[in-house]
Amino acid sequence: MHETSLKTKTARGLYWGGLNNGLQQLIGAVVGLVLLSRLTPDDYGIVGMLAIFTAIAVTMQEGGFKAALINRGEIRPADHNSVFWFTIAVSAVLYLILFFLAGPIARFYNQPELVKVSRVLFLSFFFVSCSISSDAYLLRTLMIGRRAAMDITGAVVAGIVAVVMAVKGLGYWALVAHSVVQSAVTSLLKLLFTPWKPSLGITFRPVKEMLPFGLRLVGASFVTQIQNNIFSVILGRAYTKTEVGYYSQGCKWAGMANQVFNGMITSVGQPVMAHATDDAARRRAIFRKLTRFAAFSAFPALLGLGLIAPEFINLINPEFTPSVPVLQLYCLYFIATVMQTLFNQAAMACRRSDRYLTFTLINAALQIATALITFRYGLVTMAASVTAVNYAAVVVWFLLLHNTLGITFTDILKDTVPFFAIALLLALSAHYLFAAIGSDLWRMLAKIGWVAGLYLLLTSRTKTFRDTMTFIKKREL
């Protein structure tokens, strides 16, 4: 791809990726606020107990084929078609297995209502499988704007359905419907409006060719999903469903903020770096530029959310106040996750799925062991411990990939520490300066105004700030 064309598509990809994820999280936040005021911690706890099963099923059905399609040297319609039919077949089998496991799952948690809930909720991952090939096509061709329109439409429709059900007093079924409707609507739109269309000319040879690359990715993703969701399983056995609800809410709001930035990175990171696979200097420059952009935008946003967490939760529903410390710790946790996402995308673009799998196994082993050791000391202790481990995992990723990318640890520090330090100092100053304000709303607004205004002022002379302003005005980097 021509340099100018790639640069333009990268900028547009970041714009639409950010807009897509930003609007999805905004819609999710609005819907979440309504649901938070209508539902109980028990409702969130019931659905949270099933998160690990859905996450693992989605990972197994995708099989790493989306990344393999994006990275494939020459792509043919038969490649997408092969993945389409293969993932649907795998998903159908997985759904049937989970359908019959609904009873044992309910008995494991001692929650009889999970039988019906799980059988409906698990439909969501089957619907996702129908759009894996279409989504890979949109990402590979950097048609991020079209993809954004479909994702946002699905989020709006699902949000409306969930809110109506919550208002009518249907409890946790509103959360179940939100997941199922969003996956169904989004997948249908991608099937209808992506230029590539499936056909009945079925051959699985392309799947066999992509299998070695894909299996390492699915192995890594499988382990990641266990790592991300094992906490709910542990807590579901050791704590009440109310406490599981507190934990899931804390993770949820921090995760929504993180997803905006992760979505921007994953929309363009792998596709753009894949075009520079044979040009080490160019690949290094792309990686460092994405790192600076992520640090400039994600770090203050996540630290800011942690800063206003007490006022935010108290304004919406004081019943969820115990989730505040978890939310704050996970804001710190996801700052490290942003860095890991950058390395993940670089590894896939460099066709180093072996390194991706190695990192994932090390990180998961550390985090799961930490959770098993610390969960008995309370939710906050466990969250703090896994957050510390997540920062150590960034160093592990660097050691695994720095030679491939041609970067030094000094490069990483130069690109990230200044933005983190400024945002952290401003957040701490705001905490103490405005502590005496009695109103939660006015204290929250004062904190936001102080941090946002001074952060932009203090970073306005950096090249990253100027590049970002140019990007916002012209969508060019």
- Which domain-ending residue is among 199, 215, 231? 215
Please tell me whether residues 208 and 63 are part of one structural domain.
Answer: yes
pLDDT above 90 for 199: no
CA distance 417 to 5: 32
CA 412 vs. chain centroid, Å, equals 22
Q: Is 116 within the bounds of a domain? A: yes
Least confident of 254-258, 329-333, 393-397: 254-258
> CA angle 88-49-308, nearest 5°?
110
Q: What is the pLDDT of residues 215-251, one digit of tens each?
A: 666 666 666 666 666 666 666 666 676 777 777 777 8
Please tell me whether residues 446 and 369 are part of one structural domain.
Answer: yes
Q: Which residue has the higher pLDDT, 39 or 460?
A: 460
Share of the chain above pLDDT 70, in %: 77
Q: Is 225 within the bounds of a domain? A: no
Please tell me whether residues 317 and 448 are part of one structural domain.
Answer: yes
Q: Is 312 within the bounds of a domain? A: yes
DSSP string, 345-399: HHHHHTT-HHHHHHHHHHHHHHHHHHHHHHGGG-HHHHHHHHHHHHHHHHHHHHH
Torsion, Cα of 45, 48, 50, 53 (10° steps): -160
Q: Which residue has the higher pLDDT, 446 or 315?
A: 446
Q: pLDDT at position 98, please? A: 84
Please tell me whether residues 270 and 202 are part of one structural domain.
Answer: no
| Widest CA span in the chain | 69
| Buried residues in 12-44 as b, exposed as e (16+ CB within 10 A) | bbbbbbbbbbbbbbebbeebbebbbebbbbebb
CA distance 135 to 5: 21
pLDDT above 60 for 6: no
Q: pLDDT at position 445, please? A: 93
Q: pLDDT at position 420, please? A: 93
* Residue 156: other Cβ atoms inside 10 A: 16
**With bands split at pLDDT 50, 70 and 90, how would you rate the model's confidence at 2?**
very low
Identify whether the C-beta of residue 400 lies closer than 8 Å to the C-beta of residue 407: no
Please tell me whether residues 297 and 245 are part of one structural domain.
Answer: yes
Q: Which residue has the higher pLDDT, 84 or 140?
A: 84
CA distance 163 to 166: 5
Q: pLDDT at position 3, please? A: 47
- Give the chain's domain count: 2
Q: What is the pLDDT of residues 301-323, one digit of tens each?
A: 999 999 999 998 888 778 888 88
Please tell me whether residues 297 and 405 are part of one structural domain.
Answer: yes
Q: pLDDT at position 392, please? A: 92
Which stretches within 194-240 are classed as H helix?
205-238
Q: Is 125 within the bounds of a domain? A: yes
pLDDT above 80 for 76: no
Please tell me whether residues 183 and 286 are part of one structural domain.
Answer: no
Q: Is 272 within the bounds of a domain? A: yes
Q: What's phi and psi for 156, nearest 5 deg?
A: -65, -50
CA distance 37 to 56: 30
What end-to-end distance do the CA atoms of the chain give, in Å? Answer: 16
Mean pLDDT on 127-143: 80
The DSSP symbol for 323 reads: G
Mean pLDDT on 105-113: 83
pLDDT above 90 for 432: yes
Mean pLDDT on 101-127: 85
Token code pair at residue 89? 């077949």
Please tell me whether residues 289 and 431 are part of one structural domain.
Answer: yes
Q: Is 176 within the bounds of a domain? A: yes
* Residue 107: other Cβ atoms inside 10 A: 12
220 Cβ contact list (under 8 Å, min separation 6): 353, 356, 357, 359, 360, 361
pLDDT above 80 for 169: yes
pLDDT above 90 for 446: yes
Neighbour-count burial of 329, counting CB atoms closer than 10 A to its CB (0-12 exposed, 13-18 middle, 19+ buried): buried
Q: pLDDT at position 208, please? A: 73
Q: Is 32 within the bounds of a domain? A: no
Mean pLDDT on 253-257: 79
Structural domain boundaries, residue 274: 239-477
pLDDT above 70 for 400: yes
Token code pair at residue 473? 């005005």
Token code pair at residue 214? 């894909």
Q: pLDDT at position 135, please? A: 82
Q: What is the pLDDT of residues 175-198, one digit of tens each?
A: 888 888 988 998 899 888 888 888
Please tell me whether residues 173 and 121 are part of one structural domain.
Answer: yes
How many CA atoms lie less than 13 Å away from 166 in the CB half-sphere? 24
Please tell me whether residues 246 and 111 are part of one structural domain.
Answer: no
Identify whether the C-beta of residue 368 lies closer than 8 Å to the C-beta of residue 226: yes
Q: Which residue has the higher pLDDT, 443 or 375?
A: 443
CA distance 97 to 53: 11
Q: pLDDT at position 468, please? A: 67
Please tell me whether residues 209 and 279 are part of one structural domain.
Answer: no
Identify whether the C-beta of residue 251 lies closer than 8 Å to the C-beta of residue 328: no
Q: Is 31 within the bounds of a domain? A: no
Arithmetic mean of pLDDT over the chain? 79
Token code pair at residue 27? 């819609």
Please tell me whether residues 199 and 319 are part of one structural domain.
Answer: no
State pTM to two decimals: 0.63
Identify whether the C-beta of residue 142 lies closer than 8 Å to the C-beta of residue 16: no
Least confident of 104-118, 264-278, 447-461: 264-278
Q: pLDDT at position 429, please? A: 95
Q: What is the pLDDT of residues 8-50, one digit of tens each?
A: 555 555 555 555 566 666 777 777 777 777 777 777 777 777 7
Identify whether the C-beta of residue 267 lies closer than 8 Å to the C-beta of residue 281: no
